């Protein structure tokens, strides 16, 4: 299920061939052994995937977000975890590109383009999820360093990341609370940075999710993102818009994989003397799945186009993330139903899709949060004076 526009994008077309030839033959073994895909990540680096969204003047390709969504869809059609490995790298490079000082851009973006440093984002804490303003990690300026104390959870790429965008409170008394949050660019070799464990997950295998303890973590003052305190919440929200585009695109990729497996199986499996694809009940499922997936893809591409031309696109990106992940949930379940009993076993890929989808419904802001963001934007747009 590809579009003419996608077929004309040489980067996406090349990535599609790579997924078919290199990812699909090995994904089941990597997934079930929960093995980090070092060789696939190295190939992604060689293909230019990690430098895709970094500006040209800092060694990247400077692609647009429409291309990016196509890339993430193809990666996730092969394995959703590959889209996640890329996600935080792009989020952090976006935050540095958009908000960083020139010194920060020169220091980190060329290294990120060469994948000498992979990016990771640290927001969530033991008592804080979607309510970012409630974070408890503190940062206190002492001389020419900030001393940071606290804990962070569910840090994707936490063990392999080499540059972390980390949120901490620099002012606990200010109102509104979000003005007391700052963002720091943290290297894991800074004193006081500790990885304490990896957290087991239902799905989303291969990529690590870590817990971090920050014990008097010392961060040079020049690593305060943008050089100004109190802007961290804005930095993070902009980065999470990019992250939600990634999650929406991953959802389209997983939904497409579930659909393609289902329609292929429906033409191979026979019951009552004919292919199950000839049974009306199966055709109804396939018709609805195909329509939903195309709608999710177009909504995601539209949101990406809005992100390319607008400074803020939280409503559009929220719509794409909400709709695409719910479509992926339905597609995974319907694909399992079409496969029947064998779809519930590890012999078929559909059980992986079924485990991967719930993460996308809650990751980068739950779908319930997306609904409130969308509604607030709509109320503002249609406000009655």
Which residues are annotated as catalytic?
364
Residues 6+ apart with CB under 8 A from 195: 158, 159, 188, 210, 211, 212
Please choose, from the candidates 266, 243, 26, the residue with its C-alpha nearest in 3D space to the C-alpha of residue 156. 243
Question: How does strand 145-156 pair with strand 193-198?
Answer: unpaired
- Give the contacts of 154 (CB within 8 A, at least 6 positions apart): 124, 199, 209, 210, 211
Q: Give the integer Cα–Cα distance in Å for 164 and 207.
A: 16
Q: How far apart are CA 342 and CA 276, in angstroms?
A: 14
Tokens of 241: 């818009």
- Selection from 159, 45, 186 nearest residue 113 by Cα: 45
Rounded Cα distance between 46 and 114, Å, is 9
């Amino acid at each position: 299920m590809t579009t003419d526009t996608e077929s004309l994008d040489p980067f996406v077309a090349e990535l599609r061939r790579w997924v078919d030839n290199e990812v699909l033959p090995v994904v089941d073994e990597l997934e079930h052994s929960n093995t980090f895909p070092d060789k696939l990540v190295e190939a992604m680096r060689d293909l230019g995937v990690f430098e895709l969204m970094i500006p040209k003047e800092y060694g990247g390709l400077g692609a647009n977000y429409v291309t990016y969504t196509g890339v993430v869809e193809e990666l996730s059609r092969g394995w959703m975890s590959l889209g996640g490995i890329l996600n935080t790298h792009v989020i952090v490079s976006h935050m540095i590109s958009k908000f960083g000082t020139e010194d920060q851009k020169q220091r980190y973006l060329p290294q990120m383009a060469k994948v000498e440093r992979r990016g990771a984002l640290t927001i969530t804490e033991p008592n804080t999820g979607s309510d970012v303003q409630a974070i408890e990690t503190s940062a206190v300026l002492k001389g020419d360093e900030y001393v940071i104390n606290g804990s962070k959870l569910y840090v994707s790429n936490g063990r392999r990341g080499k540059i972390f965008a980390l949120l901490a409170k620099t002012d606990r008394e200010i109102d509104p609370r979000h003005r007391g949050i700052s963002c720091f660019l943290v290297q894991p070799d800074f004193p006081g940075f500790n990885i304490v464990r990896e957290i087991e997950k239902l799905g989303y295998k291969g990529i690590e999710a870590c817990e971090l303890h920050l014990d008097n973590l010392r961060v040079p003052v020049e690593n305060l993102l943008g050089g100004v305190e109190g802007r961290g919440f804005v930095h993070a929200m902009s980065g999470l818009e990019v992250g939600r585009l990634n999650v929406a695109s991953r959802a389209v990729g997983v939904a497409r994989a579930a659909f393609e497996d289902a329609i292929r199986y429906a033409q191979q499996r026979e019951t009552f003397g004919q292919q199950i694809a000839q049974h009306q009940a199966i055709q109804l499922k396939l018709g609805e799945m195909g329509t939903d997936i195309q709608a999710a893809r177009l909504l995601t591409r539209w949101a990406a186009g809005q992100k390319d031309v607008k400074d803020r696109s939280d409503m559009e990106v929220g719509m794409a993330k909400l709709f695409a992940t719910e479509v992926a949930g339905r597609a995974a379940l319907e694909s399992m139903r079409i496969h029947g009993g064998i779809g519930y076993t590890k012999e078929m890929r559909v059980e992986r899709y079924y485990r991967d989808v719930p993460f996308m419904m809650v990751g980068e802001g739950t779908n319930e949060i997306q609904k409130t963001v969308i509604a607030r934007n709509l109320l503002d747009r249609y406000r009655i004076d």
